[in-house]
Chains A and B, each alone.
Chain A
Amino acid sequence: MAETLEYAPKTRLSQAGADRYIVEKEIETEYMTLNMGPQHPATHGVLRVELVTDGEVVVKATPYMGYLHRCFEKHAEALDYQQVIPYTDRMDYLSAMCTEHAYVMAIEKLLNIEVPRRIEFMRVIVVELQRIASHQVAIATYGLDIGAFTPFLHIMRDREHILTLLEWLCGARMLYNYIWVGGVSHNFPPKFKQRVAEFVKYYRPKVDEMMALLTENKLFIERTRGVGVLPADVAINYGCSGPMLRGSGVKWDLRKNDPYSIYPELEFDAVVPDGKLSIIGDSLSRHLVRCYEIYESLKIIEQCIDKMPEDPNFDPHAAVPKRIKPPAGEVYARGENPRGEVGFYVISDGKGTKPFRCKARSGCFVNLSVLPELAKGNLISDVVAILGSVDIVLGEVDR
C-alpha cells in the first residue's frame, strides 16, 4: 500500500479530493494487472489500457494503441492529392468533414488557391453540422459510459437528422469526400439552407432536454465532477487541444486563435467552463465544453446561413484544379476538430501528383497520452469516466 500512498500526491488530484480512496495503511496487498480492452465496452473501439490496480484503485494506467492502424500516412504517399481525401474521412470517422477541411486547406495552401467565398460558407456550415454530430456522439457515449442509456438514444435520434441532411447534400452519410481542393463536390440542394435553418430551430430545445436529462443529473455530476482533473499547465505541456484543453480553462480555439476560412467574420465563443458546476479541468468540464459548443455551433450555422452569398449560377467545381501538381514545398495546415487540433503537414517534391509526405497530427492521439496522468489514483469506474471525457476515436488515434 505504501506505493499507492506515494502515487496519490503525485496525481495532482488531492485538490479534487482523489486521495479519498486510500483507506487502509497496514494491510499487505498485491497489485493486480487488469486488461481493459481491446474488447471492452468503455474503450470506444480497440484501445487497450493496462491497469495496475490496488483493489479498485488504479495505480498505473498504460494505453496501448495501434489495433486500428491503417497506414494513413503511407497510403497518402501512394495516392493522388485528391484521392487522399476519402482516406482523411476515415481517420476520424465521426468528424469526417472537419478532417477533410484541414487536409484540403493544406493542399490549397500548397497550391496557393483562392477559394470562392460561397464555398467557404458552405464548408463552414457542413463542418459545424459535423461538429454538432460529433459532439453528440461524444456526449451520448459519455452518458453510456456513466450508465445512462436513454440520453444516448435521444441524442442519436437528433444526430440522424444531421446525417440525413449531409446525405442529401453529398450522397454519403458518414464518409463524405465532400470538401475538395478548391471547392466542394456538390452545390447545396435547393432547399438545403432552409432545412438547415429549421434544424437549428428544432435542435435547440432538444439540447436543453438532453442537458436536463443528463448533464444536470445529480448522479452524473457526482460521477464526473472532480474526476480526472487536468490542470491547465499539464494540458499545455502534453499538447492537448480541443475540448480537452478548453476544459482545463485555456481559451484556445484554432477558429479564434489561428483563424481560417471565414471564422474571423463569425461571432462565437471559445467555450471554457466557468467552474460553477464543475471543477475546472475535470471530466465534467470537458463534457460541459462539448455541450456548450453545440450551442456555439448552432450560432455559427445560423450566421453562415444569413451571410452566405447567393449565386444561382454557382459552380462548386469552378476553382477545382483539373490536375493537382503543386510546386515543391511544404505546408502545415490545421483546423479545430471536435476532438482537438487536426493538422496536415504535406511535403510536395514538385514532381508528381502525389504527396511526398503527408503527416497527420491527430488531436485524439495527443489527448489520449494524458490518460496515464489522469487515471492514476482513481477507481476503475473513474477511468471509464475519464476515458469517455477524453473522447477518443480510435480511427484517428491509430490512423
Chain B
Amino acid sequence: MRLFATIAPDALAASAAPVAADNAWVKALESFEVAGVPVGVWAIPAIPLVFIAVYALYVGVYGERKVSAFIQDRIGPNETGKWGLLQTIADILKLIQKEDVVPAAADKPLFVLGPLIVFVGAFAAFAVLPFSSAFIGADLNVGVFYAVSIVSVEAVGILMCGWGSNNKWSLFGAVRSVAQVVSYEIPASISILVGVMMAGSLSMQKIVMSQSGEYGILHYAVFQSPVAWLAMIIYFISALAECNRAPFDIPEAESELVSGYFTEYGGMKFAMIFLAEYASMFMTSVILSVLFLGGWNSPLPNIGPVALNDWTNGPVWGAFWIMLKGFFFVIVMMWVRWTLPRFRVDQLMYLCWKVLTPFALLTFAFAAVWELYVR
C-alpha cells in the first residue's frame, strides 16, 4: 500500500504534480474477508460512522462548548476528566440511560422514525466524502449531486419529527425548517455548480484531483477564478442555513420556539438529531473544502528542492488535510453562531431569494464565461 505521495505521470494535464486518487484502502477492504464473511465491506460504512461519533463528541459537542465558552469568557466543561474531556462521554451515557418517552398524543410511527431519517439523511452523504485519496465510500461519478440531494431527505425527517410530536411549537419549527432547507438548496446548489464547472466533474475525487499541483494552495479552485471566493462564501452561508445553524437556527430558535421541531424529544432520539446536526456540519464543510479548497491536497507548495507539497501529500496526509479543513469550517460555524443574533423567517427568505440567489447566479454566469474563455 502506498502511504506517501509519488508523482503520478498520468495526472490531469492542468496540474504539474497531481496526486491520483486510487481508493487503495477501499479496494483493500473490499477484498478483506474473514472465513468467507466480508468484514471489510462492512467496515467501509462503519468507518465514517465511527468517525462521526468521535468527531461529534469531540469536535462537535466538546469543541462547541469550549469555543462558545472562550468566546464568552468562560471556561467551559472542565470537571469531568482532564479539561473536561470526558464530559461528552458522560453526556452520551446520560442520554443512553434516559427513558425513551413518546408523548401520549404524538403520532408514534412518525415520532420514532423522524430522528432516524434525519440522521440517515446526514449520514448517507458521508458515502461520497473523499476522506483521503485512498478512501471514499463510493466514488460516484455524480458524487456531489448525490450529496446535495440526499441531504434534502433530512427535511422530510424534520417534518416528520415536527408533525409527529403533535406540538404546535414543534410544528412551527418543522415548517420553518423545511421552508428554509428547501430554499437554501438553490443558492447552495448554484454555488456548488461553480466549483463543479471549474473541475469539470461531479465526482468528488476528480474534483479534488483537479486541484492538486506543486504550488499547493495556489491550485485550489478558490484561487483559480476571480469569483470562486464569492461562490465559496455563498455556499458557506447556505450551508449554515441547511444545517439549521445560527444565525439561521429559526427552526429550533430557542427563545421563540423553545426547541423547535425536537422540543418533545429526549434520550437517544434527541442524540440522533443532535448527531445529525453535527454530521451535516462536517459534511458541508468537507464539500466546501473539496469544491474550493483542494480537498485532501496539501496547501504547501514545492519551493525548489524543498518539495513540501510532495512530502505532505499522500493518503495519510490527505486524511489529515481534509479533516483539518473540515474542522476549520466547523469551528468557523461555531464562531459565527456565538456571534450573531438570529434571523426572522421573512429575513431569512429575503436573504436567500433576494441576495444569495441572484449573487449565486451572477457568480455562476461569470464563472462559466471565465471557464470558457479565460482559463
Contact = CB atoms under 8 A, between A and B. Distances in A.
A145 B73 contact: no
B168 interface: yes
Interface in A339-390: 379-382, 384
B152 to A, nearest CB: 23
A150 B339 contact: yes
Interface residues of A, number: 31
Interface string A114-139: 00000000000000000000000000
Interface in B161-186: 168-169, 172
Contact of B256 (A153, A219, A381): A381
Contacts of A21: 346
B344 A153 contact: no
A307 interface: no
Contacts of B257: 380
A217 B168 contact: no
Interface in A189-220: 213-214, 217, 219-220
B338 interface: yes
Contacts of A34: 168-169
A27 to B, nearest CB: 15
Interface string A36-60: 0000111000000000000010000
Interface majority SS (helix, strand, loop, mixed), chain A: helix
B72 A381 contact: no
A275 interface: no
A379 B345 contact: yes
Q: How large is the interface on B (under 10, 10 to 19, 20 to 34, 35 or more residues)?
A: 20 to 34
A214 B340 CA distance: 8
Contact of A56 (B68, B258, B345): B345
A223 B73 CA distance: 26
A153 B341 CA distance: 14
Nearest to A55: B175
A146 interface: yes
Nearest to B344: A381
B342 interface: yes
Interface stretch (B12-20, B247-255, B355-363): B247-255
A234 interface: no
A143 B256 CA distance: 13
Given A34-B168, A380-B256, A147 B346 contact: no
Interface string B70-95: 01111000000000000000000000
Contacts of B256: 42, 380-381, 384
Residue of A56, A149, A154, A380 most packed against chain B (CB within 10 A): A149
A220 B255 CA distance: 14
Interface in B53-81: 68, 71-74
Contact of B345 (A150, A214, A217, A381): A381
B25 interface: no
Nearest to A217: B341
Contacts of B246: 147
A150 B71 CA distance: 7
B341 A219 contact: yes
Contacts of A154: 72-73
Contact of A41 (B71, B254, B342): B254
Contacts of B172: 56, 380
B6 interface: no
A145 B250 CA distance: 12
B105 to A, nearest CB: 15
A161 interface: no
Contacts of B255: 41-42, 144-147, 384
Contact of B341 (A41, A42, A147, A157): A147
B347 interface: yes
Nearest to B259: A41
26 contacts: A40-B258, A41-B255, A56-B345, A144-B255, A146-B341, A147-B254, A147-B255, A147-B340, A147-B341, A148-B340, A149-B72, A150-B68, A150-B72, A153-B74, A217-B341, A219-B247, A219-B341, A223-B342, A379-B346, A380-B172, A381-B250, A381-B256, A381-B344, A382-B344, A384-B255, A384-B256
Given A149-B338, A222-B343, A381-B342, 18 more contacts: A20-B346, A34-B169, A41-B254, A56-B345, A147-B249, A147-B253, A148-B340, A149-B68, A150-B339, A153-B74, A219-B247, A219-B340, A219-B343, A222-B344, A222-B347, A380-B256, A381-B256, A384-B256
Interface of B: 68, 71-74, 168-169, 172, 246-247, 249-250, 253-258, 338-347
